């Protein structure tokens, strides 16, 4: 099939997209919108930028031929820099599909999926928020927000000691919860990031990086290999802290004789009263629920009043009824 046929099929399907349709690029997972469809190019705009970018027909044709000649789909990592939007837009074509797990875009005869964002499950307003089950950071975060709202934390020395203790405890709990949850999120993200390409979100961006850790092999093996290269053992031998501590126990030396000691004081959380936290948390949830019910009732009353007024203005009444 010539590319011109596939190109016009793509343009037709792009024309049918809703005005607010959002596409997700496969490598950086950026969100883009189609702003204009022309005979020789497609104009897109990234969510995080007001700049519009033209995607040229000849670049789509080049990608098309790369896919045609690839055995099991075109490897997305082979895309040139800034070419991430092309496969996302091409996936709107009913015969092209992106497999993010395999990292390829391929042509297929069967039903395909596109890179369209699933907005059906995305909350449109704050009214759609629901409490996540079993997530400690949500509960502790709610308690911390309540404490921050009730106290002037811009002047900590003026706060009572009990208030400072509560703030420190909640901050410590949130820090622990956030770190645990952050690691869970990172584990999932790791499988979706490719070759140090930054992935942007609404609040920032992340990228895949590598860390290199080293640990020495067996002592005798290391020393033997170094000696074979003319390095004396004494040059690489160091004092072992554990062995020094064991020696202090059987000598008259004191700790300060062999250690430089620098003491500092710090605050450490001793215990957490989970019953009090749970009671306070339930009170906050009840208060939020009552607030939402009140707002909903007021809104319903306003709607009913507006409906009555519209009915008065639009309903037909006989002249005698009006005069009466």
The Cα–Cα gap between 68 and 87 comes to 14
The Cα–Cα gap between 111 and 93 comes to 11
Whether residue 117 contacts residue 23, with contact meaning beta carbons closer than 8 Å, is answered with yes
Backbone φ and ψ for 17, nearest 5 degrees, come out as -70, 145
Model's pTM, two decimal places?
A: 0.48
| Residue whose entry in the numeric block shows the structure tokens 């170094």 | 226
Residue 246 burial by CB count (10 A; 0-12/13-18/19+): exposed, middle or buried? exposed
b/e 310-321 (16+ beta carbons within 10 angstroms → b): eeeeeeeeeeee
Whether residue 69 contacts residue 81, with contact meaning beta carbons closer than 8 Å, is answered with no
- How are beta strands 23-24 and 31-37 bridged, if at all? antiparallel
The Cα–Cα gap between 114 and 273 comes to 50
CA dist list (Å): 231 to 215, 219, 224, 226, 240: 20, 14, 9, 5, 20
SS3 27: coil
Q: In the numeric block, which tokens belong to residue 47?
A: 């969510």
The angle that helices 57-69 and 3-15 make with each other, rounded to 10 degrees, is 120
SS3 240: coil
Q: In the numeric block, which tokens belong to residue 105?
A: 């875009």
Q: Walk along the chain (324 residues) in steps of 10 and give the mean pLDDT of each run.
A: 88 90 88 92 86 91 91 87 90 90 84 65 51 80 88 92 91 90 86 73 74 78 86 82 84 86 70 74 73 65 62 48 44
Compute the C-alpha angle 112/47/199, nearest 5°.
75
- Region of 195 (left: φ > 0; alpha: ψ -120 to 50; beta: rest) is left
pLDDT of residue 160: 93
CA dihedral 55, 57, 61, 64 (to 10 degrees): 50
pLDDT of residue 225: 86
The angle that helices 161-190 and 136-150 make with each other, rounded to 10 degrees, is 140
The Cα–Cα gap between 23 and 86 comes to 11
Backbone φ and ψ for 111, nearest 5 degrees, come out as -60, 140
Q: In the numeric block, which tokens belong to residue 40?
A: 């020789």
What are the beta bridge partners of residue 96?
107
pLDDT of residue 320: 43
């Amino acid at each position: 099939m010539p590319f011109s046929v596939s190109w016009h099929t793509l343009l037709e399907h792009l024309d049918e997209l809703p005005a607010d349709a959002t596409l997700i690029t496969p490598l950086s997972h950026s969100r883009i919108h189609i702003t204009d469809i022309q005979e020789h190019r497609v104009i897109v705009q990234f969510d995080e930028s007001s700049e519009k970018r033209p995607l040229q027909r000849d670049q789509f044709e080049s990608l098309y031929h790369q896919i045609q000649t690839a055995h099991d789909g075109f490897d997305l990592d082979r895309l040139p820099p800034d070419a991430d939007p092309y496969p996302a837009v091409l996936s709107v074509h009913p015969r092209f599909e992106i497999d993010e797990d395999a990292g390829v875009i391929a042509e297929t005869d069967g039903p395909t999926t596109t890179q369209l964002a699933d907005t059906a499950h995305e909350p449109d307003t704050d009214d759609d928020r629901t409490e996540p089950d079993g997530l400690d950071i949500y509960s502790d975060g709610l308690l911390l927000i309540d404490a921050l709202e009730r106290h002037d934390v811009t002047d900590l020395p003026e706060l009572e000691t009990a208030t400072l203790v509560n703030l420190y405890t909640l901050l410590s709990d949130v820090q622990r919860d956030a770190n645990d949850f952050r690691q869970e999120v990172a584990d999932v993200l790791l499988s979706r990031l490719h070759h140090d390409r930054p992935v942007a979100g609404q609040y920032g961006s992340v990228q895949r990086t590598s860390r290199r850790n080293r640990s020495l092999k067996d002592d005798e093996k290391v020393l033997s290999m170094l000696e074979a290269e003319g390095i004396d053992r004494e040059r690489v031998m160091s004092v072992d802290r554990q062995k020094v501590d064991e020696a202090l126990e059987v000598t008259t030396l004191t700790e300060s004789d062999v250690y430089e000691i620098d003491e500092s004081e710090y605050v450490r959380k001793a215990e957490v009263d989970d019953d009090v936290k749970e009671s306070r948390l339930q009170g906050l949830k009840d208060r939020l629920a009552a607030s939402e019910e009140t707002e909903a009732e007021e809104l319903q009353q306003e709607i009913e009043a507006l409906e009555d007024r519209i009915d008065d203005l639009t309903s037909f009444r006989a002249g005698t009824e009006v005069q009466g």
